[in-house]
C-alpha cells in the first residue's frame, strides 16, 4: 500500500512532465505499435475484399517470392554496405569537425559555421535531387559544362553506375554531418573543463588533449549513436536513393536497396504480402544485428552498452 501511495505521489508531483511526454508516447504508439498486426500480411495472400485478418494464409510464399527473384542478395548487400559506409564516415567526419569547431579561436564565426552546416539537414531530398540533376545531367549540367570548357568529353553520369556510390555518399554526408556535429559539440561542451586546464598546465599539446582527453570522453556518445544507427543498418534511406536515382534502371546495380526494390515491386505487382515480407525481413535482420553488436560492446565495455 505504501509503495502504491508513493507511486501516486510521484505521478502527481511530475504530472507536468508526463503531460509534456504524452505527445511522444502517442506518436510511438500510433505509428509503431498500432501497425504491428500488419506483420500478418507477410504470411498471407492479401485480398482487399477480405482484409488483413480474413485473407487466406500462404505460409512463407511471400518470402519465397522475394528471394527467388534473384535480387534479394544484391539489394541486401547494397543496403548493408551503404549504411555501413554512412555510419563510419558520419562518425569520423562529425567528430573531426566538432573537435575543430570546439578549438576554433574565432568564436564569433563558430556559430555561423555551425548554422551553415546544420541547415542542409532541413533540406528535402526532393530539393537535393534537383541540385544533383543540375550538377550531373548530360546536356547542360554544371559538371559536364566545366569538363567541356576545359576541353574534355562529357560524362554520362546518369548512365554510369560506378559514380553513384560516391555521389550518394557525398550527398548523405552533406545533409547529415551538421546534425551529428551539433550532438558531439554538446557532448564536448559538457566535459569537465578542469581536466583540460590541468592538461594544459602539464604541457599537453593540442593533439595530446584530443587523443587522451576529448576522444575518450566522447567515446560513450559515439558508441550510443553508432548502436542506434546499427539498429537500422538493413533499412535504407528511401528519400536519398529514390529521389536521386528514381526509376533509372541503368543505375540499379549499384544503387538499388531493399526499400526502393520493394517500393517498385509494390507499384508494379501490387503484391502487398511481398512488401510486408520484405519489411519483416528487414526488421528481423536489424534486430539480430543490433543485439549481436550490443552483446559485443557489453562484453568489451559494459558501461557503453545500450542495455
Mean pLDDT of 89-116: 83
Tell me the DSSP string of 140-173.
T-HHHHHHHHTT-----GGG-GGGHHHHHHHHHH
Say how far apart CA 164 and CA 241 lie, in whole Å. 10
Exposed (0-12), middle (13-18) or buried (19+): which is 213, by Cβ within 10 Å? middle
Tracing cell 533499412 back to the chain, one arrives at: 235
**Other CB atoms closer than 10 Å to residue 17's CB: what's the count?**
10
Nearest to 234 by CA among 187, 176, 149, 293: 293
Q: How far is CA 235 from CA 32, 108, 232, 275, 282, in A?
A: 15, 39, 5, 13, 6
At 12-45, the pLDDT tens digits run 788 888 889 999 999 999 988 888 888 888 899 8
Q: 44: helix, coil or strand?
A: strand
pLDDT at position 15, please?
84
H helix intervals, 39-163: 51-54, 61-68, 72-102, 107-118, 125-136, 142-149
Say how far apart CA 87 and CA 237 lie, in whole Å. 12
Mean pLDDT of 60-69: 82
**Other CB atoms closer than 10 Å to residue 161's CB: what's the count?**
16
Q: How far is CA 234 from CA 32, 238, 280, 291, in A?
A: 18, 12, 11, 14
Q: Is 254 in contact with 230 (CB distance < 8 Å)?
A: no
What is the percentage of the chain residues whose pLDDT exceeds 90? 32
**207 in the Ramachandran plot: left (φ > 0), alpha (ψ -120 to 50) or beta?**
alpha
pLDDT at position 106, please?
66
pTM value?
0.86
> Which of these ranges, 59-63, 108-112, 120-124, 233-237, has the smallest mean pLDDT?
108-112
Q: Is 256 in contact with 75 (CB distance < 8 Å)?
A: yes
Say how far apart CA 165 and CA 79 lie, in whole Å. 11
Q: Is 186 in contact with 220 (CB distance < 8 Å)?
A: no
For the chain, give the number of residues. 307
Summary mean pLDDT of the chain: 87
Mean pLDDT of 259-276: 83
Does the pLDDT of residue 118 top 90, yes or no?
no
Amino acid at each position: 500500500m505504501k509503495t502504491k501511495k508513493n507511486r501516486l505521489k510521484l505521478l502527481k508531483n511530475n504530472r507536468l512532465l508526463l503531460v509534456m511526454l504524452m505527445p511522444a508516447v502517442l506518436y510511438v504508439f500510433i505509428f509503431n505499435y498500432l501497425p504491428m498486426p500488419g506483420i500478418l500480411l507477410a504470411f498471407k495472400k492479401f485480398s482487399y475484399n477480405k482484409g488483413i485478418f480474413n485473407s487466406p494464409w500462404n505460409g512463407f510464399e511471400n518470402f519465397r517470392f522475394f528471394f527467388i527473384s534473384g535480387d534479394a542478395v544484391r539489394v541486401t548487400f547494397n543496403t548493408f554496405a551503404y549504411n555501413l559506409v554512412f555510419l563510419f564516415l558520419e562518425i569520423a567526419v562529425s567528430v573531426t569537425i566538432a573537435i575543430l569547431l570546439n578549438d576554433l579561436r574565432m568564436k564569433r564565426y563558430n556559430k555561423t559555421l555551425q548554422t551553415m552546416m546544420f541547415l542542409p539537414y532541413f533540406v528535402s531530398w526532393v530539393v537535393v535531387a534537383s541540385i544533383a540533376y543540375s550538377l550531373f545531367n548530360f546536356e547542360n549540367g554544371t559538371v559536364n559544362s566545366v569538363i567541356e570548357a576545359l576541353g574534355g568529353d562529357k560524362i554520362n553520369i546518369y548512365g554510369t553506375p560506378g559514380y553513384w556510390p560516391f555521389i550518394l555518399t557525398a550527398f548523405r554526408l552533406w545533409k547529415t554531418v551538421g546534425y551529428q556535429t551539433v550532438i558531439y559539440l554538446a557532448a564536448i561542451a559538457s566535459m569537465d573543463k578542469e581536466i583540460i586546464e590541468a592538461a594544459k598546465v602539464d604541457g599537453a599539446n593540442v593533439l595530446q588533449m584530443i587523443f587522451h582527453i576529448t576522444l575518450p570522453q566522447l567515446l560513450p556518445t559515439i558508441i550510443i549513436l553508432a548502436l542506434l544507427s546499427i539498429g537500422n543498418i538493413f533499412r535504407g534511406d528511401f528519400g536519398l536513393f529514390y529521389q536521386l536515382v528514381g526509376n533509372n534502371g541503368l543505375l540499379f546495380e549499384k544503387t538499388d536497396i531493399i526499400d526502393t526494390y520493394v517500393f517498385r515491386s509494390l507499384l508494379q505487382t501490387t503484391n502487398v504480402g511481398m512488401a510486408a515480407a520484405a519489411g519483416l525481413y528487414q526488421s528481423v535482420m536489424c534486430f539480430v544485428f543490433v543485439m549481436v553488436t550490443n552483446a559485443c560492446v557489453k562484453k568489451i565495455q559494459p558501461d557503453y552498452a545500450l542495455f
